[in-house]
Amino acid sequence: MKQVGKVYLVGAGPGDPGLVTVRAKELLNACDAIVYDRLVSLELVVPMPERVQRYFVGKSSSCHSMHQDEINKLLVKLAKQGMTVVRLKGGDPFVFGRGGEEALFLKENGISYEIVPGVTAGIAASAYAGIPITHRKQSVFTVLLTAHEAADKEVTQVPWEWLGKIQHGSIVGYMGVTQLPSVVNKLIEAGMDPNTPAALIERGTTGSQRHISATLADLPGKAAQEGIAPPALFIIGKPVLLSEELDWFGGGVLSGKRMMVTRPADQAFDMYALLREQGAEVLPLPTIRTAAHDDDSGWDEIKGLFELNVRGKAEEWIVFTSENGVRYFIQQLFDRGYDFRFLGRFKIAAMGTGTDRALRLHHLKADFLPTKSTSDVLAAEFSDYIKGKACKVIRVRGNLGDDRIEQSIEEADAVVLPLQVYDTSTAVWDAGMWACLDENPPDVITFTSGSTAAGFKEILGDRGEEIAGNAVIASIGPMTTQIITNEKMKVAIEAKMHSVPGLVEEILNYFRQHKA
């Protein structure tokens, strides 16, 4: 009989992936399945290994991808299949997250569970707007409430009559945009001063965060004027005034910009971080995926070179043309019982700065770099460099590698040993990724290879033209630009240094020059 698994009700925080707890990260790294909400950062979900089953159960005010009773049953079903399940919930699972309901249902069905608290939006979004919800002499307590209870009902569980009379405290209301006029009316009718400071924070802790401040009476009108939309929360109380002095978040070059990253998720952590540091909201929507090539024939062909004790007369080279090539080659080298000592006999050629940077991360240095990071230039210049030297060249590649490099090397009278170490294929998006794109059309789309551009068009089809037409297209280099152009998209930004840092820097330069 299969052992029953366990469900972890995990708080993902309010939007900034950096606010997730260490315990949450541990569980994400070890789980078999993840069941996640709409407001969870995709940076926590998309990079997960393909072995992990993903279930998007996001809800909005107008659409539920799965109703709560169905979510409850899904958790039980997965656990009874013996899985370790992370139920990843925005904010904290026990603060307006219905975590208590899910925990009770798990207990009723004999499923073991653990609660992992998260940073709730009422605390985090307030802090990111520079509003301390408690402050000495101004607010000695805070009330957290759901504004849904403000709708006209015969019976309400929120004591609006009492809340309207409170002093020296703050009120933080979740899900507050639609019901804000009703909330304000109820509080003023109950005796709250219409001039009480108040604020509304949209998409708190993300690069798209906006917040407005006004008197309590004026806040609904200002929210409508500014077009504040869910998800948002309101704060009422004197500490709101401190935001003018303590507002610290935002202001980066990319603040308010939504950046679609098409790079494979397991390679994109540095890129996500670089963009977020400049204020962007990252949309992690990879259009390709890579996996280790599982055919050993290439390694069988070259293992003799690694096992020779005497260096031959011919120069021996390894040619890398991508960061993936470096990553998978090193991984497979060690998997086959070799280590860096076996590379001592080889010289190394790399196609560009990105590939050279990947080598340096492994303490390897390229002996040859072309003047431009293109296949044509590498093929021509490297072939001229080794011509007449009777070289043996291991050409590390993926399944989409450019054959012209091998052909040019052979024409230079060298022996070419192709070694395929990885495969590239079009990414598969789950419902949460589609929902992210639907709700957050990108301002910028970044392409870090020609295959990411081809994958974009394959996934999105005709819809891709509309999305790309409304966005700034950023390319990592001329080869990628050519493929983007072939896919009928217009490139506005091309990196001078053909690497992720180089691409981000060029994006920054573009927006410095195109300030609204």
Mark whether 400 and 468 lie in a shared domain.
no
Q: CA-CA distance, 402 to 407, in Å (whole number)?
A: 10
Residues 115 and 140 occupy one common structural domain: no
What is the percent of the chain where pLDDT is above 90? 81
Residues 295 and 421 in one domain: yes
- Burial degree of 423 (CB within 10 A; 0-12, 13-18, 19+): middle
Task: Express the helix, strand and coil content of the chain in percent, nearest 5 each.
Answer: 40, 20, 40
Judged on CB neighbours under 10 Å (0-12, 13-18, 19+), 354 is buried
Cα–Cα distance between 333 and 310 in angstroms, integer? 20
Instruction: Identify the residue whose tokens are 């890398």.
Output: 320
Count CB atoms within 10 A of the CB of residue 82. Answer: 13
- Confidence (pLDDT) at 515: 77
CA distance 266 to 243: 37
User: Can you tell me the distance from the alpha carbon of 426 to that of 288, in angstroms, rounded to the nearest whole number?
Assistant: 4
Catalytic residue among 32, 59, 222, 430: 59
Q: Say if residue 153's pLDDT is above 70.
A: no
307 in a structural domain: yes
Out of 425, 458, 485, pick the residue that ends a domain.
425
User: Is pLDDT of 208 > 60?
Assistant: yes
Of the residues 57, 91, 119, the one at which a domain ends: 119
In the chain, the amino acid numbered 514 is H
- 199 DSSP β-pair partners: 213, 235
pLDDT at 508 over 90: yes
Is there a single domain that holds both residue 377 and residue 463?
A: no
Q: What is the pLDDT of residues 17-35, one digit of tens each?
A: 999 999 999 999 999 999 9
Mean pLDDT value across residues 417-443:
95
Please tell me the distance from the alpha carbon of residue 123 to that of residue 239, in angstroms, as a whole number.
13
What span, in angstroms and rounded, lies between the C-alpha atoms of 123 and 434?
29
Q: Is the pLDDT of residue 237 over 90?
A: yes
- Rounded Cα gap, residues 430 and 301, in angstroms: 39
Q: Does residue 496 belong to any structural domain of this protein?
A: yes
Question: Of 169, 184, 206, which Cα lies nearest the Cα of 91?
Answer: 206
With respect to residue 264, please indicate whether it lies within any of the assigned structural domains: yes
- Is it the case that residue 150 has pLDDT exceeding 60? no
Q: Answer yes or no: is pLDDT of 251 > 80.
A: yes
414 and 455 co-located in one domain: no
Phi then psi for residue 272, to 5 deg, are -55, -50
CA distances 343 to 125, 340, 394, 458, Å, are 51, 5, 12, 39
Contact 181, 223 (CB under 8 A): no
Decide if 196 contacts 215 (C-beta within 8 A): yes
Among 95, 119, 143, the domain boundary falls at 119
Q: Please, what sign has the CA dihedral across residues 69, 72, 76, 81? A: positive
Q: How confident is the model at residue 305 (pLDDT cuts 50, 70, 90)?
A: confident
The domain total for the chain is 4
**Residue 257 a catalytic site member:** no
Residue 196 lies in a domain: yes
CATH of the domain at 167: 3.30.950.10
Give the number of other CB atoms < 10 A from CB of residue 415.
Answer: 13
Is 252 among the domain residues?
A: no
Domain interval for residue 21: 6-119
Mean pLDDT confidence for 263-269 = 93
Q: What is the mean pLDDT of residues 235-244?
A: 96
Burial class of 344 by CB neighbour count within 10 A (0 to 12, 13 to 18, 19+):
exposed
Q: Are residues 493 and 375 in the same domain?
A: no
In a domain, 480, yes or no: yes
Helix (H) or strand (E) holding 54: strand 53-56
For residue range 33-44, what is the model confidence (pLDDT) as tens digits? 999 999 999 999
* Residue 276 φ/ψ region, left for φ over 0, alpha for ψ in the -120 to 50 degree band, beta for the rest: alpha
Q: Are residues 96 and 11 in the same domain?
A: yes
Tell me the two tokens of residue 277: 């540091």
| 411 & 437 share domain | no
Q: Which helix (H) or strand (E) holds 424?
A: strand 415-426
What is the four-CA torsion angle of 34, 38, 41, 42, rounded to 10 degrees? 60
Mean pLDDT for 362-380 is 91
Q: For the domain that residue 418 is a member of, what is the CATH number?
A: 3.40.50.10090
Task: Specify if 251 maps to a domain.
Answer: no
- The mean of the pLDDT values for the chain is 92
Is residue 15 a part of any domain in this protein? yes
Catalytic residue among 6, 16, 37, 457: 37
pLDDT greater than 90 at residue 8: yes
CATH of residue 46's domain is 3.40.1010.10
pLDDT of 323-338, one tens digit each?
999 999 999 999 999 9
* For residue 17, cis peptide bond before it (omega within 30 degrees of 0): no
pLDDT computed for residue 61 by the predictor = 55
C-alpha to C-alpha distance for 417 and 193, rounded to whole angstroms: 80
Please give the Cα distance from 216 to 387 (Å, whole number): 78
Q: Is 165 a catalytic residue?
A: no
In terms of domains, do 380 and 436 share one? Answer: no
Q: Are residues 23 and 145 in the same domain?
A: no
Give the pLDDT score at 309: 57
Q: What is the DSSP string of 162-187?
A: HHTT--S-EEEEES-TTTHHHHHHHH
Q: How large is the average pLDDT for residues 495-502?
A: 91
Residues 141 and 241 in one domain: yes
Residues 312, 396 within the same domain: yes
